[in-house]
Structure 1
Amino acid sequence: MDRRTLLKTALVLPLLPLAAKVDAFVTGGGRWLKPGAAGWPTEADWDALNRLVGGRLSIPKNPLLDPATREDALAHIGNQFYVGDQPGLTQTGAYYNAWTSTPSARVLTAESAQDIATAVTWARQHRVRLVIRGGGHSYLGASNAPDSLLIWTRKMNAVQLADGFVPQGAKAGTPGVPAAHVGAGAMWIDAYHAVTTMGGRYIQGGGCTTVGCAGFTNGGGFGSLSKGFGTGASNLLEAEIVTADGKIRVVNAYQDPELFWALKGGGGGSFGVITRLTFRTHYLPQLFGVVRGTIQANSDEAYHALVAQVMRHFRDHLCNPNWGECMEFHGDGHIDLRMLFQGLAEDQAKAAWQPFVDWVAAHKEYTWKDPFWVRTLPARHFWDIDFYQERGLTFAVPDNRPGKPAYHMVWAGDQEQAGAYIYAYTSAWLPSRLLKDDQVDTLATAIVEASRIQGFAFHFNKGLYGASEETLARARDTAMNPEVLDAFALAIIATGGPAVFEGLPDAHRDDVKARRESDAVQRSYARLTRVAPGAGAYFSESDYFQKDYAKAYWGTNVSRLTAAKRKYDPDGTFAVRNGIG
């Protein structure tokens, strides 16, 4: 017996008599029962719940395993909208050594807050685990659990605009602001269509159009242009939520303000079931734009110089509210530019990049593998699939299933997310001090050496350094780690493979590759964060095995969040991986 095993045994043996006394209580992990355990709901119990919720309870199935649905499933399994329509599947399919996509014991296809309140009360009484799902994208596996009652909000997806919204409980005379009421089951494409394409306003949502609006906001919520418009959480004005006591509450800065604050980045599904959100909307610029290009260095020395130069250029010309999205750094010495901008004409965007383009042209050790280019388009049509199809553009892909909303689209580059198998995923906020003249070369060395182990991206829209003071002030009033206010970017180091849904032909879990690439991600992360020790992480895009996760996600806000959790969910009815409390 080794020392570690011996110590574990020594610690556990004195507790065995106590464990024997409380065995009936800890069945199924302590908080919830598991199927087959004493006390697990009978069919009569489930039938009773079904009657209470108007027949909206069912047994979810993996459509790939059901002969009645298999052919249709195989035809559409790469379609994110199809996957999202299946309560037995999840958008993220698995995470190595962590979780797999598995149907719940039952699913409530909720149509109202009362449906959800009824289910929450029933689940507490019967000690059945609750899982909440809107979009189903959770990398931490929060969208599924085999021993659970799944509360599925997909049908609660209405989006309505309001010209002068005033939160409930506000003082008389409080001025109204332009806003949008968004159902908890809405995806961001639903909100973009209603608010931007049809309404001519901007709403801060996610980059992937099939992400659910509620979970996105609970996690903090970064979109492509967060330096300009803030996080999703910072734009939340009000929410309707079902709490653990079965109450339906409308919360905002005036009613249950601590719960409202906790919902703004305190972790998806940790405080209750959101049923409706109200977001601030913004003036829509005339133009959005795209910058693309891939530049290759011909030596290690040239790669280092290139990285240092592009970081200086970002600091001096792009670290402001007009710019977002990312640069990708690769160990073979090339950088992919994948940037978006708003509020600039095409010539203004080109001018912002011209010093860097000129620098590259003056150095023969660099080659544009993919040409550098800048394009603009009307901001109102950025999420308009008809606009792209009329022009023969293919980087937006529609949901072509009969009878589905004609406006539903995903970016072509996001299609691989349907059922993705995550090998490893890490993130780290990088502080602005790394951009200073006396540190940028050290940062460049870290980027070069880390990218040789595993390539990664800097998402400049997921750090708020360079945003306006108004944007920073709103973000400061959220539960997110305050590090985000000084972070110029979120570094994301991740790797994964194709879908491995059970029943998918030729699906293969390559655990050898997963183990190898997971190790590479961790080593790359360790090297990069030597310049930012103890860096915080973004809840929604982080490591399942995140160390000291509460500090990483919420920093100095942990104690305040914990107090809110104790007040509104003292028994832990709502629990997610790495959640508060």
Structure 2
Amino acid sequence: MKRRELLKAMATLPLLPLLMRSSVATARGAATAMAAKLRSRVRPGDPGWPLATQWKQLERDVGGRLLKLEPPFVRCTTSPTGGDCAEVLKQLDNPFALGDNPALTQTSGWADAWTSQPSAYAVAAQSTADVVAAVNFARKHHLRLVVKGGGHSYQGTSDAPDSLLVWTRHMNQVSLHDTFVPQGCAGHVAPQAAVSVQAGAMWIDAYDAVTTRGGRYVQGGGCATVGVAGLVQSGGFGSLSKRWGTAASNLLEAEVVTADGQVRIANARTNPELFWGLKGGGGGSLGVVTRLTLRTFELPEFFGGANLTIKADSDAAYRALIAEAVGFYRRALFNPHWGEQMKFYGGDTLEVSMMFQGLTKQQAEQTWAPFLDWVHARKDCRVTKPFQVLAAPARHLWDAEFLRKYLPSAIVSDDRPGAPRHHILWAGDHDQAGWFIHGYQSAWLPASLLQPGRQAQLVEALFTASQHWGFALHFNKGLAGAPADAIARARDTATHPQVLDAFALLICANGSAPAYPGLPGTKPDLAKARREATAIDHAMDAIRAVAPDAGSYVSESDYFLRDWQQGFWGSNYPRLAAAKRKYDPDGLFFVHHGVGSESWSADGFTRLA
């Protein structure tokens, strides 16, 4: 080194501490800024929101299937008499049409909770590669990510403003297997009949393939337009879960895109904690499911239903009617043959809407004969809807052509030109299309309440609750009384353990007509909604007096539930939280009251300290 350079270097020595402090401060400032950035997801207009060129690159990556969404009724504002406005209004009562619109959800909102608002952009995924591209883009740019298949979430988890939506509707293939073995499980499990379903398929798609055309049974949801993937991840009950268990308990394998953009196979031997978490841990929290494979079963000879409505003439008569219904249920219906509901209304009314499997029409009628004899013998109870039993060969339960011919009033078809012929739903589910929720609560009722020494308490609680608001006992949504194998499979899921010993899930709820933001001529009556929500609170207070620690079913529950971790998952929550930390440590996936959501603000945009 030359003398001049040496002297210059020596002259800077006193400045080194200052320079070092400045460098450290700069680094710390950069780190703080990065930490702040990671704590907050970006919105349109924020620094860091993707540039137009970056969105264009994503569009290329997904084969042109990037959609810029707008509020669905904006054209009704700009052109209220135009054809586009008329068409969207025409289809508001068609759940198939609602599902085919990425800017709409099957529920339009919940009073004082949320309203349906579209994402900024949507990837209309047609392949797992499309999902990977969307997940990587959201992670790289710190975007709020939303996943929607069927869009039936009551909690509002199927959309979020200012977000990127992964929309799986077009991933709807259904494939049957005669001898399925999960990957990596050869030699450990026997081959079995199964069905693989892509994430965007609805249950009617699965039922048409498995039962109507395939002659087998798959345990899914009662509402035919619900998405397969969402229902399985939330647990999943159908009309006959008392026989075949939950949808989640029959999951054999899943393909999942996790937060790091990896495509993972999850089954009992590969990524087993991810697999367990997907079985009832709630949709949208651990990854994007792209394909599920579920076991299928032999069909019974018959499926059928039994319907009846009874009006009591006084409160005393109604108490007696409730007591007889509860006792009759325990004696005759508390078994794998029967599922669905008894509904208890104000006005001293009981409505029976039950389904059965494995019985003939004559056997079902004989089962109910003692209850009907009791009703007819009383002068203070009147049958207002006659008792009716229907039964049909099991293969025809979701057979659209058979039902159109023999029971047309029981179904509603997708009436759009070119709609698949098998796209039908039960008429009783039709009023849920676009509905606006006023209040919704549920509670698992333990089978111990059916014991003779406790039935009187249960009856009084049911009567008291009915004086505040009507409710239904969903017997198929409690597994007490199910076969041992169904209970064993359900025990190995993340669903609240209370389901194993519950004879029913009690649901108390109400709503009104669609109230999407911007929908012409509609505005929810919030004062009425709040009154009804309060009445539902009072009804549930009566129920919880006899079931004080009752948990709730995550898909059908109170948006405002405080201790939701315990309420939805009970003792399973710590294990779910560990799976969340392993597969999504930075919290890319967020849904309201989903696993790990306590680490984020209510809108999912800001990480909490």
Aligned length: 562
1:157 maps onto 2:172 in alignment: yes
Aligned to 2:45: 36
1:72 maps onto 2:87 in alignment: yes
Aligned to 1:427: 442
**1:505, 1:289 → 2: CA distance?**
42
Q: Secondary structure at the match of 1:464?
A: coil
Q: Secondary structure at the match of 2:186?
A: coil
Change in 2 beyond 3 A, CA 1:453/1:173: closer
Aligned to 1:379: 394
1:449 maps onto 2:464 in alignment: yes
The within-5 A match list for 1:509-520 is 509-520=524-535
**1:505, 1:388 → 2: CA distance?**
35
Shift of 1:417: 1.1
Aligned to 1:221: 236
Shift of 1:483: 0.4
Shift of 1:30: 3.2
The within-5 A match list for 1:391-430 is 391=406, 393-430=408-445
Letter in 2 for 1:511: L
Aligned to 2:64: 55
- Asked whether the 8 Å contact 1:179–1:278 carries over to 2, the reply is yes
1:352 to 364, 367, 388: 367
Query: What is the TM-score when the length of structure 1 is the normalising length?
Result: 0.95
- Render the CA deviation track for 1:52-85: whole Å, top value 9, x for unaligned: 1111101123443235621211222211100110
Letter in 1 for 2:562: K
**1:23, 1:141 → 2: CA distance?**
31
Shift of 1:507: 1.3
- Render the CA deviation track for 1:525-549: whole Å, top value 9, x for unaligned: 1111110002010001111111211
**1:31, 1:202 → 2: CA distance?**
46
Query: What is the TM-score when the length of structure 2 is the normalising length?
Result: 0.90
2:492 to 477, 497, 500: 477
Shift of 1:352: 1.3
- Render the CA deviation track for 1:271-313: whole Å, top value 9, x for unaligned: 0000000000011112111110101111111111111110111
The within-5 A match list for 1:407-556 is 407-556=422-571
**1:371, 1:107 → 2: CA distance?**
49
- Render the CA deviation track for 1:104-156: whole Å, top value 9, x for unaligned: 01000001111111111111110001000000000110000011100000010
1:254 maps onto 2:269 in alignment: yes
Shift of 1:506: 2.2
- Asked whether the 8 Å contact 1:65–1:502 carries over to 2, the reply is no
The within-5 A match list for 1:281-300 is 281-300=296-315
- Asked whether the 8 Å contact 2:277–2:579 carries over to 1, the reply is yes
Change in 2 beyond 3 A, CA 1:392/1:483: closer
> Of the two, which has the highest radius of gyration?
2
Shift of 1:517: 0.4
2:330 to 315, 321, 328: 315
Change in 2 beyond 3 A, CA 1:448/1:23: farther
**2:70, 2:451 → 1: CA distance?**
54
**Runs of at least 5 residues in structure 2 that lack an aligned partner in the other structure:** 1-30, 597-609
Shift of 1:25: 5.0
Aligned to 1:9: none
1:183 to 198, 215, 238: 198
Change in 2 beyond 3 A, CA 1:195/1:392: closer
- Render the CA deviation track for 1:224-273: whole Å, top value 9, x for unaligned: 10001110000100000000010001110010011000000001111000
1:206 maps onto 2:221 in alignment: yes
- Render the CA deviation track for 1:406-433: whole Å, top value 9, x for unaligned: 1100111211111110011100000011
Q: Secondary structure at the match of 1:531?
A: coil
Q: Secondary structure at the match of 2:123?
A: strand
Shift of 1:22: 6.0
- Asked whether the 8 Å contact 2:115–2:517 carries over to 1, the reply is no
**Runs of at least 5 residues in structure 1 that lack an aligned partner in the other structure:** 1-20
- Asked whether the 8 Å contact 2:442–2:505 carries over to 1, the reply is yes
Aligned to 1:46: 55
**2:511, 2:112 → 1: CA distance?**
13
Letter in 2 for 1:184: A
Aligned to 1:117: 132
Letter in 2 for 1:564: A
**1:114, 1:141 → 2: CA distance?**
26
Aligned to 1:82: 97
**2:536, 2:523 → 1: CA distance?**
21
Aligned to 1:138: 153
- Asked whether the 8 Å contact 1:107–1:151 carries over to 2, the reply is yes
- Render the CA deviation track for 1:357-398: whole Å, top value 9, x for unaligned: 111122111100111111111211111121122236211011
User: Which moved further from structure 2: 40-49 or 180-189?
Assistant: 40-49
Q: Secondary structure at the match of 2:390?
A: strand
Change in 2 beyond 3 A, CA 1:58/1:531: same
1:573 maps onto 2:588 in alignment: yes
Letter in 2 for 1:433: S
- Asked whether the 8 Å contact 2:281–2:595 carries over to 1, the reply is yes
**1:174, 1:218 → 2: CA distance?**
23
Aligned to 1:330: 345
Letter in 2 for 1:56: R
Q: Secondary structure at the match of 2:133?
A: helix
Q: Secondary structure at the match of 2:74?
A: coil
**1:87, 1:330 → 2: CA distance?**
37
Letter in 1 for 2:187: A
Aligned to 1:168: 183
**2:509, 2:257 → 1: CA distance?**
34
Question: What is the identity percentage for the equivalent residue pairs of Structure 1 and Structure 2?
Answer: 52
- Asked whether the 8 Å contact 2:70–2:120 carries over to 1, the reply is no
Letter in 1 for 2:371: F
Aligned to 1:14: none
Q: Secondary structure at the match of 1:537?
A: coil
1:559 to 574, 582, 585: 574
**1:561, 1:76 → 2: CA distance?**
39
**1:34, 1:23 → 2: CA distance?**
17
**1:60, 1:224 → 2: CA distance?**
36
- Asked whether the 8 Å contact 2:438–2:512 carries over to 1, the reply is yes
